[in-house]
């Protein structure tokens, strides 16, 4: 993996050239097809989520435009973190993550026992085009710093700040190129959402086929029950 | 290795009908479907996890990469070899979820070699060797590598206490750190008692189900075949069950009686389907695993492979991307067989061709037009002398006939025993 950081930096540098800041933002487009869920998930608390890895830390930019530690947003509560970019046009990509997040949020808001126990983070992997203003606009309908479910829309100051976070999460991205080899505005990435416990440990990872809001909510409830049992 | 006279080999073959297995899995349609970047066009390279053979080249296990792109000047040629040093009974491989790394196991030394095939698939690099499977789990013989998001499920074949068939599933994260272990079921579930054995695993996230199958332990798969078939007790130690697990909870829910060592498991990738198939090595059958109409699953014998009395010994299978066809290799007679799976309740063998003196793995491209075949089963179970062909061969399939395009002779090239295959795209880009 020695070559990965430099390759990533190069890819993102190409992206900067291809996508000038201030370019039009895509609306939250409806997803093309939701992943099928044809089962009743096991009851919350009847299973144990694996401790997959420690969530990485790093410098991020919050809605106030100031730098913060990512861990400020991924500790102390159960965190659902997604890596996205605001102008993603793939209906089975970022839009699907956003929609799943909204659905899980609605279920959490409807369950007072979960208020204050969880938080969401959407972190951009385009530090240049996705400024903190762009992220604020992107998440305007759901961004919240408090309330029953805080939802932070974060970015980073630079590629160097972003790179160790992506590496730490194992989030692979590539900038697509056109027939002439020029970087396009499309970033190919495997959609991943990370469920992180209050100690900063990744306990589940959802890719497209596993974006089942009912099961995701059960996972959050399972971690809540685990926390309560340890108190 | 001891050489057996022909009559002795026949006797061994006959005895094998009463025991055995040891196949393998491969191909684009058998990857964990949660691996990104499935190659749905022309593959660029075939990576072959190759067993080192004494006196053949450097004698070490190695990853052999062959150019598979027809427009390439090196089409059908070996373009890269990467020895890992020593012989550990190289067997199966599996991609990580991002298809950047290929995990390859050794059934004897229990090591897991992690190759970077994403940076430059023409020149894979060994980036990590995981050697803590026995210490972390008590399991040995890492067999199937099946990607989950951010991690790898590893189905083992045996254990480090008695080297028998009791074993389990290990989970590692993509960085190579151990995450969890799960024992194969040994209790009674639904009236069937688990044997604790393992072989393959495959999941269906839409149904939250994990299926597992069963083979045999280190004592058998590392034993000389001639010795094993004359050991009555050893011949009894083969798996006879499959299990359906709650994937999220990683708990076995049902056990099915599937006599004859069920090996490779393939879910139909057709979105309209909710079934999987397996082939039993000893009884030469295809079994269908499907919903039982009561919220659970059932296993059903639906077809016979060849003439079981002639001991064809089905090993690897490869399902068409639309779930309508199934390739089956039978090791002993060197036959490659095609089954019409249009009705999975009644598969029909509609085509048969001898593709080698011994054949194990069969891997088809996503479009079904290309079929790759390799030869090795296990170092101590491969045929002897002139029957010990070792090769990778490409055939084209036009729906009616297999036509050989090229064949790499692994003995002549001094590479070793050709086993599991995985594909990469040219330049790492999918086509």
Burial of B31 (0-12, 13-18, 19+ CB in 10 A): buried
Nearest to A219 by CA among A98, A99, A49: A49
Contact B251 A52 (CB under 8 A): no
Q: Do the Cβ atoms of B98 and A215 come within 8 Å?
A: no
ipTM of the complex: 0.91
Residue A100 falls in which region: left (phi positive, over 0), alpha (psi -120 to 50) or beta: alpha
CB B251 within 8 A of CB B185: no
Its pTM stands at 0.91
Chain A residues 150-169 with CB within 8 Å of chain B: none
Tens of pLDDT, residue by residue over B1-41, are 333 334 444 444 444 433 333 333 346 656 555 556 677 88
Choice between A55 and A209, residue whose per-residue pLDDT is larger: A55
pLDDT at B33: 54
Q: How far apart are the first and last CA of chain B?
A: 43
SS3 state of residue B251: strand
Alpha-carbon gap, residue B20 to A229, rounded angstroms: 48
Q: Are B315 and B331 in contact (CB under 8 A)?
A: yes
H or E segment and range at residue B241: strand B241-246
Task: Calculate how close chain B gets to A204, using CA atoms only, in Å.
Answer: 8
Note whether residue B368 is domain-resident.
yes
Tally of structural domains, chain B: 1
- Structure confidence at residue B29 (pLDDT): 59
Please state the rounded mean pLDDT for residues B170-175.
Answer: 98
Does residue B124 carry a pLDDT above 60? Answer: yes
Query: What domains does chain A contain, in order, with CATH numbers?
Result: 4-19+48-230 (3.40.30.10)
Give the model's pLDDT for residue B20.
36
Pick among B115, B137, B150 to test the A interface (most A CBs inside 10 A): B150
Residue A6 has pLDDT above 90, yes or no: no
pLDDT of residue A91: 72
Range B310-348 burial, b when 16+ CB lie within 10 A, else e: ebbbbbbbbbbbebbbbbbbbbbbbbbbbbebeebeebe
Between chain A and chain B, the number of residue pairs with CB atoms below 8 A apart is 74
The sign one gets for the Cα dihedral A101, A104, A110, A111 is negative
What are the pLDDT digits (tens) for B71-114? 999 999 999 999 999 999 999 999 999 899 999 999 999 999 99
Whole-angstrom distance, CA of residue B312 vs CA of residue B334: 8
Say if B113 falls within a structural domain: yes
CATH of residue B181: 2.130.10.10
Residue B1 lies in a domain: no
User: Considering the domain boundaries, does residue B404 fall inside one?
Assistant: yes
pLDDT digits (tens, 9 = 90+) for A63-77: 899 999 999 999 999
B241, HSE (Cβ side, Cα atoms, 13 Å): 24
Kindly report, residue by residue over A184-198, the tens digit of the pLDDT: 667 777 889 999 999
Q: Which domain holds residue B94?
A: 6-428
Residues from chain B contacting residue A54 (CB–CB below 8 Å): none
Residues in chain B within 8 Å Cβ distance of A36:
206, 271
Q: What distance in Å separates the CA atoms of residue B425 and residue B44, rounded to the nearest whole number? A: 4
Measured in angstroms, the CA of A147 and the nearest CA of chain B are apart by 30
Q: Cite the DSSP H helix spans in B251-399.
A: none
Instruction: Point out the residue among A41, A51, A190 whose CB comes nearest to the CB of B179.
Output: A51
Residue B204 with chain A: CB contacts under 8 Å: none
Is residue B367 in a domain?
A: yes
Return the closest-CA partner of residue B79 out of B126, B119, B26, B124. B124
**Percent of chain A as helix, strand, coil, to the nearest 5:** 35, 20, 45
pLDDT in tens, A95-150: 888 899 999 999 999 999 999 999 999 999 899 899 999 999 999 889 888 899 99
Are B349 and B330 in contact by the 8 Å Cβ rule? The answer is no
Q: Does A207 touch chain B (CB under 8 A)?
A: yes
Report the gap between the CA of A92 and the closest CA in chain B (Å): 13
Residues of chain B with pLDDT > 90: what percent? 84
Token pair of A183, please? 């970087």
A30 falls in which pLDDT band (50, 70, 90)? low
The whole-angstrom separation of Cα B343 and Cα B323 is 10
The whole-number average pLDDT for the span B375-384 is 96
Residues in chain B closer than 8 A to A215 (CB atoms): 208, 248
Minimal CA separation from B212 to chain A, in Å: 19
Of B36, B119, B205, the CB nearest to A190: B36
Contact: B249, A47; criterion CB under 8 Å: yes
Q: Return the number of other C-beta atoms located less than 10 Å from residue A84's C-beta.
A: 26
Query: Between helices A4-18 and A159-169, what is the axis angle to 10°?
Result: 130
Partnered with residue B201 across adjacent β-strands are: B212
On whether residue B154 sits in a domain, the answer given is: yes
Pairwise CB contact (< 8 Å): A209 & B209: no
Query: What's the distance, CA A69 to chain centroid?
Result: 16
Q: Which residues of A touch B97 (CB under 8 A)?
A: 190, 207
> Which residues in chain B have Cβ-Cβ distances shorter than 8 Å to A206?
149
DSSP-derived 3-state class of residue A59? strand
| Chain A contact for B151 (CB, 8 A cutoff) | yes
Chain A residues whose CB is inside 8 A of the B98 CB are: 170, 172, 190
The answer on pLDDT for A214 being more than 80 is yes
| Confidence check: pLDDT of B151 > 80 | yes
Q: Which two tokens stand for residue B265?
A: 């498991």
User: What percentage of chain B reaches a pLDDT higher than 70?
Assistant: 90
Cβ contact, residue pair B249, A7, below 8 Å? no
Q: Are B241 and B194 in contact (CB under 8 A)?
A: yes
- The answer to whether residue B61 scores a pLDDT higher than 60 is yes
Q: What is the pLDDT of residue A4?
A: 47
CA distances to A105, A201, B180 from A194, in Å:
15, 10, 18
Chain A CB within 8 Å of residue B73 CB: no
Q: Round to whole Å and give the CA distance between B267 and B25.
A: 13
Q: Which of A35, A47, A170 sits opposite B174 (nearest CB)?
A: A170
């Amino acid at each position: 993996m020695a070559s990965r950081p430099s390759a990533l930096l190069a890819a993102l540098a190409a992206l900067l050239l291809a996508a000038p800041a201030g370019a039009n933002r895509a609306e939250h487009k409806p997803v093309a097809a939701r992943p099928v869920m044809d089962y009743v998930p096991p009851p919350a608390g009847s299973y144990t989520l694996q401790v997959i890895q420690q969530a990485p830390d790093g410098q991020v930019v919050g809605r106030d435009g100031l730098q913060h530690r990512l861990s400020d947003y991924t500790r102390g509560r159960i965190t659902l973190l997604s890596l996205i970019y605001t102008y993603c046009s793939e209906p089975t990509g970022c839009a699907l993550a956003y929609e799943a997040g909204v659905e899980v949020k609605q279920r959490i808001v409807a369950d007072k026992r979960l208020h204050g126990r969880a938080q969401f983070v959407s972190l951009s992997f385009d530090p240049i085009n996705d400024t903190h203003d762009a992220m604020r606009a992107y998440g305007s309908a759901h961004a919240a710093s408090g309330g029953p479910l805080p939802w932070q829309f974060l970015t980073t100051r630079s590629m160097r700040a972003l790179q160790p976070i992506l590496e730490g999460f194992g989030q692979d991205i590539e900038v697509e190129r056109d027939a002439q080899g020029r970087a396009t505005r499309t970033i190919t990435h495997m959609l991943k959402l990370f469920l992180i416990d209050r100690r900063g440990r990744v306990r589940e990872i959802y890719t497209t086929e596993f974006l089942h809001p009912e099961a995701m909510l059960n996972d959050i409830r399972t971690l809540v029950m685990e926390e309560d049992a340890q108190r | 290795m001891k050489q057996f006279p022909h009559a002795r080999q026949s006797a061994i073959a006959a005895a094998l009908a009463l025991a055995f297995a040891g196949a393998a899995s491969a191909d684009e349609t058998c990857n964990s479907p949660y691996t990104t970047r499935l190659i749905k066009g022309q593959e660029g390279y075939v990576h072959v996890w190759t067993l080192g053979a004494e006196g053949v080249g450097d004698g070490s296990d190695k990853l052999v990469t062959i150019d598979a792109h027809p427009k390439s000047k090196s089409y059908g040629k070996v373009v890269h070899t990467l020895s890992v040093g020593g012989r550990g009974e190289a067997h199966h491989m599996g991609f990580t979820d991002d298809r950047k790394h290929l995990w390859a196991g050794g059934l004897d030394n229990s090591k897991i070699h992690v190759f970077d095939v994403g940076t430059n698939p023409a020149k894979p690099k060994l980036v990590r060797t995981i050697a803590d499977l026995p210490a972390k789990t008590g399991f040995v013989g890492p067999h199937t590598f099946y990607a989950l998001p951010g991690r790898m499920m590893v189905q083992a074949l045996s254990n480090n206490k008695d080297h028998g068939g009791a074993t389990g599933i290990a989970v590692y994260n993509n960085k190579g750190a151990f995450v969890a272990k799960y024992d194969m079921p040994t209790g009674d579930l639904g009236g069937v008692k688990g044997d604790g054995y393992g072989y393959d695993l495959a999941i269906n996230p839409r149904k939250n189900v994990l299926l597992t199958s069963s083979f045999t332990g280190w004592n058998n798969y590392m034993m000389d075949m001639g010795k094993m078939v004359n050991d009555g007790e050893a011949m009894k130690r083969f798996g006879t069950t499959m299990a359906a697990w709650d994937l999220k909870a990683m708990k076995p829910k049902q056990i099915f009686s599937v006599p004859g060592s069920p090996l490779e498991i393939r879910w139909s990738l057709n979105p309209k389907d909710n079934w999987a198939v397996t082939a039993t090595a000893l009884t030469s059958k295809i079994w269908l695993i499907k919903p039982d109409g009561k919220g659970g699953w059932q296993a059903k014998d639906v077809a016979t492979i060849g003439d079981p009395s002639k001991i064809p010994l089905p090993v690897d299978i490869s399902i068409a991307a639309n779930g309508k066809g199934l390739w089956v290799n039978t090791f002993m007679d060197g036959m490659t067989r095609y089954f019409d799976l249009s009705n999975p309740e009644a598969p029909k063998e509609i085509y048969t061709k001898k593709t080698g003196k011994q054949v194990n793995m069969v891997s088809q491209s996503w479009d079904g037009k290309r079929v790759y075949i390799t030869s090795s089963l296990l170092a101590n179970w491969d045929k002897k002398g002139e029957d010990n062909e070792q090769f990778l061969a490409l055939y084209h399939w036009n729906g009616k006939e297999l036509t050989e395009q090229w064949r790499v002779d692994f003995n002549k090239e001094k590479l070793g025993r050709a086993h599991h295959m995985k594909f990469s795209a040219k330049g790492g880009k999918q086509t």
